[in-house]
Amino acid sequence: MKKRKTPESQRPADNPNVLGLKGETTEQAITDTLEQNYMPYAMSVIVSRAIPEIDGFKPSHRKLLYTMYKMGLLNGPRTKSANIVGQTMKLNPHGDAAIYETMVRLSEGNQALLTPFVDSKGNFGKIYSRDMSYAASRYTEAKLSKICEAVFGDIDRDSVDFMDNYDGTMKEPTLLPTAFPNVLVSANSGIAVGMASQICGFQFNEVCNAAIALLRDGEADLLSLMPGPDFPTGGEILYDREAMEQVYNTGRGSITVRAKWRYLPKENLIEITEIPYTTTCEAILDKVADLIKAGKVKEINDMRDETDLSGLKLAIELKRGADPAQLMRKLFRSTPLQDNFACNFNILIAGYPRVMGVKEILDEWIAWRTECVRRKLYHELSEKKDRLHLLLGLESILLDIDRAIEIIRNTELEDEVVPNLMSGFGIDELQAEYIAEIRLRNINREYILKRTSERDNLEQEIARLEETLGNRRKLRNVLIDELTRLNKRFPMQRRTMIVYTDELPEEEDDEPVRDDPCTVFLSRGGYFKKILPQSLRMSSEQKYKEGDSLLRSFESATSHDLLVFTNRQQCWILRLGEMENTKASLLGTHLPSWLGMDDGETICDIADAGDYSGNLLLAYANGKLAKVPLESYRTKTKRRKLTGACSDTSELVRVLPMKNDTDIFCITDDGRGLLIHSSLLLVKQARDTRGVQVLTLRKSRLRDIRFADMPQQAEGTEETDGMQEAPAQVSADHVVLSEPGRYRARSIPRSPVQLKAEDGGEEQISLL
């Protein structure tokens, strides 16, 4: 069967309408397209959807809660969730499914928040279960919880700005005037375009106490008042003060959380009652099942989910003779029963995203809340002044009520009543209108005396408000009183217990790791391979992604730990025994993802810690070297990450482990070198030491350091002869120098010397 040929007039190249194009097409630079089309979209996602603001809410949360408030659900009875969803669509046009999912997460039944804002009835699912889905909106009921009184208490007093909704038919608040730091109390996460936010929740009363302390003393120690986050699912925080300080100071970092368990000896059973906030029951069960199938866990007879109305419960039935503590240590290392919460406190401040520490967030909240209180007090002051103004007008007719009645009775036209009262008593239009609206039954001396008796109270209140508005200290006292009342009204218990890692016993490996030789490969893109010798002999040609290349490779052993240094001055401890063996023909494991690195964190270098004997040499771009004992990087509790692993004063360019002092050759990016002996460097115990200035650099920077090997000398010759039997060569960690004396520095700092071609010229430097 022959194919029919398409007429040329109908081909896409000749007929633009076939492609859906009309008229002429114009070329546009990709940068212009991004600026005109993509950037507005990106900013909309960042500002109007994914990143929370200082009140702790995203726009979707705010629209839902404000709709419920306007529906009278703060003090009224519950209503069907479908009614709430329908009403919310007047403010949020993104569909009923998205609105209901927002309500589910804010509900008390879902248990996703420490302070739920929705008082729910019915099945709203559970945050700790992947498969326990929530019921449809037509079956569930909801209203606002009591804590919302602290959210909406000032909203009708001009404390926040309002804006038009999407179709301009009604107004909605730009922020909700939360009387407590909800931005730190309620956990929040969101992924925008090019940035994300991940905020863990803190205990309500601890946050309020911390805010009170900051209001009284700007240098208060927050870590003593709120020692760590509090998660709705409970569990235990493995407290590392150094890591916690990083989170509090920078808003970034990682917090280790593990499950809470107990052993029942009569049933030979382990019960897990609380799990990390970042995982689910099903994920834990699946991982344990995989370990049992792989033969890595042999102590378990059965594991089942016994969660019921009383709460979460995972039961692990042990085999006879199994050690429960040893099994749990193994499960903590290999399953989500112990997990890390990656913090990224990214918050919108005045429309701009900012990553802030805890103190900075509280300072911003205090400044914003102070302005809310100022606006509320000014609104109250205006109302009281208006009321006083009306009472002064009423007082003016107190002694001559009959005259006021006579003026009204003798006025022929209704529109002339107010002007006649104004001229008769010397009052303004507002006062005259107020007097004219008084009912006939209230025109008696008793009524007027009661109204005018308010004058003294109003004048005292006005004076108090004016004094408060003019005194910053008294304004802050208003905030302190609010937070103190909330603390007393909503006492809450901490759900996540804190376990100090220094008090934990040092963990021992349950099963010794085999000490097999292997070769490690790390690419510049962060892909890692552990290859055994037999596999490497079969195929040694390494595969990389397009544009990627080798960064480091060295021989090691499967029992060793590797130290992975990043641009955030952090060191991730990679245990080779936990990494799978791979082949040269595969890309390998992407380390930043596998280790759970923070956004924007990249690998600088990697070193073999071995048995943690000897020292680690750290080289910085500014020409400084630091010699730190490898023992300083050993952890007692199998931690995966160390903060403050190196200095932050300059870029880390290389790390080299060394057992004994030896010659070190430093290479700069402008083709110069300097040879020193490592004994010139004193050992510093602090990991973040700035090091010792070795090279005097002006416009260049240190690019690499290597162990220096001397050439094999002919018998009877000296080093200064320049004679050598082996040619100069460069390897990953070593360089052979033809004339060591040319580069030798007896004291430091010294200026580097121009490299000879055979000692690491441009061609050899390109091997870096």
Q: Report the catalytic residues.
A: 139
- The 3-class SS string of 339-368 reads EEEEEECEEEECCEEEECCHHHHHHHHHHH
Is residue 491 reached through a cis peptide bond, with omega within 30 degrees of 0 on the bond before it? no
| Separation CA 336–CA 635 (nearest Å) | 21
User: Residue 127's closest CA among 26, 234, 215?
Assistant: 234
**Cα 384 from Cα 399, distance rounded (Å):** 24
Please give the angle made by the CA atoms of 16, 20 and 24, to the nearest 5 degrees: 45
Single-letter amino acid code for the residue at 250: T
Sign for the CA dihedral angle at 224, 225, 229, 235 comes to positive
Query: How far, in Å, CA of 703 to CA of 14, rounded?
Result: 56
* CB 110 within 8 Å of CB 104: yes
User: Which residues share a beta bridge with 452?
Assistant: none
Q: How far apart are CA 666 and CA 615, in angstroms?
A: 18
The alpha-helical segments, DSSP class H, found in 144-240 are 149-152, 182-185, 204-216, 222-225
| Residues 6 or more apart whose Cβ sits within 8 Å of residue 85 | 96, 99, 100, 103, 137
Of 361, 363, 373, which Cα lies nearest the Cα of 472? 373
Cα(768)–Cα(761) distance, integer angstroms: 12
- What long-range pairs does 461-464 form, CB within 8 A, spacing at least 24? 461/384, 462/381, 462/384, 462/385, 462/388
d(CA 494, CA 229): 9
Strands (E), 148-251: 162-164, 171-173, 188-191, 196-199, 236-239
- 664, 691 contact by CB (below 8 A): no
H/E stretch holding 530: strand 527-531
Sheet holding 236-239, edge to edge: 188-191, 196-199, 338-344, 252-258, 236-239, 497-500
Q: Report CA torsion sign: 646, 651, 654, 660.
A: negative
Of the candidates 72, 130, 141, the residue with the CA atom closest to the CA atom of residue 103: 141
